[in-house]
Amino acid sequence: MRLEDVTAELRPRSDWEAVDLGLALSRRDFWRLFGAWWLGMAPVAILSFVFLRDVPVLLLLLCWWWMPVSSRLVLFVVSRHLFGELPTWKAVFREWPRAVFRRFFFRMIWARFSPWRPLTMAVEDLEGLRGKDYAQRVRLLLRRGDATVVALAMWRLGLTFWLAAAVFGTEVLFLPREVAEEWWVALDTWGEETWHELPTTLGWSITVSLLISMSLVDVFSTGAGFGIYVNHRTWIEGWDVELAFRRLANRLRAAGSVFLAACFLWLGSPAAEAAPTPKETIEEVKSHEDFTIHKVKEKVPSSSSSSGSAPDLSFLGTLMQLLFYLVVGGLIAFVVWLLWRYRHILRPAGIAGGGKRIRAQARVVMGMDVAPESLPMDIPAAAMELWRVGRRQEAMSLLYRGAISRLIDGGGVEIAESDTESDCVRRVAAEAAPHAAYFGGLTEAWMRLAYGRVTPGDETMTDLCARWPFSERRTA
């Protein structure tokens, strides 16, 4: 490691400036670091795909457990490039065995869950410390910036799941409507007892989304941890000062020969022969009045003589501070009591006394009028009559509107005006389970006709009208 070959500015930074330095180093070599990360993960990912193809959850857990190997390769590249040496892919391949087997049990079992891993990994790999020396070095580096490293670990966790959700949502946008509906229904019914019943394509999509998110986040978090490590060593060892002196020495080295020649010429001159000796020069300098030592004696009064001094009033400041906290605490308690006492005034409109929101029944859903007064008395008969005269879409629309109206009016299903067909199916399944099967079939037939222009057969329409599950008695 040669400080004069460093490719970034070394100076004491705040902790978050150090994180920004590490992120900048990761951005500079992103594709090389991203490739090195997947090089470390490739053997486990390939073997897991071969043997755990039907259990993507176990594959994901195994790749997560193996992630420190990929992090070490990322650290290898970013640390070498900081000091002027960009490793080739051949060098990265040679580093792979050391990244796997160096302190395997300690890093992959004992220290696997450590939130300080991005910082301590640099101590292991770059300084090669072990045992007591390693523990002492880690404690020294964590004296400043400990909270930043923990916050970085929390940032990694939250950003991983957020980015995975974004990738998964993007994948869903490109799926056919039927497949997307199947996935959402499977996710809605997912639970501890049915996790293994998810569709295989859905499980693999979630696994791939999380792997992509883990790789991106780990590349940048490893760089951020290395930035904190470099900043800590700069503060502790004065790398910026050492680097400044080395650069100064390099600039002066060129003038060294000229300086030595001047010294030899001066020593060979007659004036140099008559020059005083160093001892005489020192004695002459020390005899100057500026080097005279002056002594001043002061008499310190004893404690008994200070008995008549002013009393110590420092306790008054403490008392005033305590009274201030009491007053502030009393004001906060008073405001909380007022909010609780008059909470009925602050309750939003539409909230009942028991906390249940009184929701207005929707009159229009997806642009269709579902008000009871806009529908005929006998909906199945009217829909079948329209179907017989060839007005197929009007008949199916009347049957679908009637079902939604009956579910809102008599079934108590809270369908909103902005709900889509899929939202209506989920609400009926959750709030009116006896009607869920019929409404699901009716919705599928309606969507095929309305969006796909596929007209259902006469037997389908006859069956839907015959199985109409809602009472047609309406109050005046």
Higher pLDDT, 411 or 395: 395
Q: CA-to-CA distance for 97 and 430, rounded, in angstroms?
A: 54
Q: CA-to-CA distance for 437 and 299, rounded, in angstroms?
A: 102
> CA-CA-CA-CA torsion for 151, 156, 162, 166, nearest 10 degrees?
140
Q: Which residues pair with 369 in a beta bridge?
A: 364
Describe the crossing of helices 379-388 and 392-409 by its angle, rounded to 10 degrees.
170
Instruction: Evaluate if residue 428 carries a pLDDT over 90.
Output: no
Q: How crowded is residue 288: how many other Cβ atoms within 10 Å of its Cβ?
A: 8
Q: Which residues pair with 368 in a beta bridge?
A: 365
Residue 454 lies in a domain: yes
Predicted pLDDT at 8: 73
Instruction: Evaluate if residue 386 carries a pLDDT over 70.
Output: yes
Instruction: Evaluate if residue 344 carries a pLDDT over 60.
Output: no
- DSSP H helices in 268-391: 270-273, 278-286, 314-341, 343-346, 379-388
Please answer whether residues 432 and 408 qualify as being in contact, where contact means their C-beta atoms are separated by less than 8 angstroms.
no
Predicted pLDDT at 1: 56
Helices and strands (H, E) in the chain, number of each type: 22, 2
- Considering 245, 266, 301, which residue would you say is the last residue of a domain? 245
Instruction: Evaluate if residue 449 carries a pLDDT over 90.
Output: no
DSSP assigned state of 472: -
Residue 8 CB-density burial (10 A; 0-12 exposed, 13-18 middle, 19+ buried): middle
Check whether residue 202 and residue 59 sit in a common domain: yes
The length of the chain in residues reads: 476
Token code pair at residue 341: 């006492």
Which of 232-236, 302-306, 340-344 bottoms out in mean pLDDT, i.e. has the lowest? 302-306
Q: CA-to-CA distance for 191 and 186, rounded, in angstroms?
A: 10
Q: CA-to-CA distance for 375 and 362, rounded, in angstroms?
A: 15
Residue 25 lies in a domain: yes
Which of 54-58, 100-104, 142-146, 352-356 bottoms out in mean pLDDT, i.e. has the lowest? 352-356
Mean pLDDT of 43-55: 81
Q: Whole-model pTM?
A: 0.49
The upper half-sphere exposure of residue 344, i.e. CA atoms within 13 Å in the direction of its Cβ, equals 4
Q: CA-to-CA distance for 71 and 89, rounded, in angstroms?
A: 16
Instruction: Evaluate if residue 42 carries a pLDDT over 70.
Output: yes
Domains held by the chain: number = 2
Q: CA-to-CA distance for 318 and 290, rounded, in angstroms?
A: 48
Q: CA-to-CA distance for 211 and 48, rounded, in angstroms?
A: 13
Instruction: Evaluate if residue 308 carries a pLDDT over 50.
Output: no
Higher pLDDT, 111 or 25: 25
Q: CA-to-CA distance for 228 and 18, rounded, in angstroms?
A: 5
Tens digits of residue pLDDT in 141-176? 777 656 788 888 888 888 999 999 899 888 888 878
Mean pLDDT of 426-434: 85
Residue 325 lies in a domain: no
Q: CA-to-CA distance for 95 and 187, rounded, in angstroms?
A: 42
DSSP assigned state of 348: P
Residue 107 lies in a domain: yes
- Considering 245, 273, 294, which residue would you say is the last residue of a domain? 245
**Containing domain of residue 416, as a range?**
364-466
DSSP assigned state of 351: B
Token code pair at residue 319: 């008392």
- Annotate 49-87 with b (16+ C-beta within 10 A) or e (fewer): eeeeeeebeebbeebeebbbbbbbbbbbbbbbbbeeeeb
Residue 324 lies in a domain: no
Token code pair at residue 42: 């490739």
Predicted pLDDT at 262: 56
Residue 444 lies in a domain: yes
Residue 287 lies in a domain: no
- Considering 245, 262, 283, which residue would you say is the last residue of a domain? 245
- DSSP H helices in 52-87: 56-65, 67-82
Q: Which of 103-107, 123-127, 181-185, 213-217 has the highest mean pLDDT?
A: 213-217
In the chain, pLDDT over 90 holds for what percent of residues?
6
Q: How crowded is residue 447: how many other Cβ atoms within 10 Å of its Cβ?
A: 20
Long-range CB pairs of 471-474, under 8 A, 24+ apart, other chains included: 471/410, 472/377, 472/378, 472/379, 472/380, 474/372, 474/377
Continuous segment of H or E residues that includes residue 280: helix 278-286
Alpha-carbon distance values, 220 to 25, 69, 380 (Å)? 9, 15, 62
Residue 336 lies in a domain: no
Q: Which of 30-39, 256-265, 414-423 has the highest mean pLDDT?
A: 30-39
Check whether residue 160 and residue 18 sit in a common domain: yes
Average pLDDT in the chain:
77
CA nearest neighbour of 185 among 174, 198, 196, 176: 198
Predicted pLDDT at 472: 58
In the chain, pLDDT over 70 holds for what percent of residues?
76
* Geometric angle at alpha carbon 21, from 1 and 88, rounded to 5°: 50
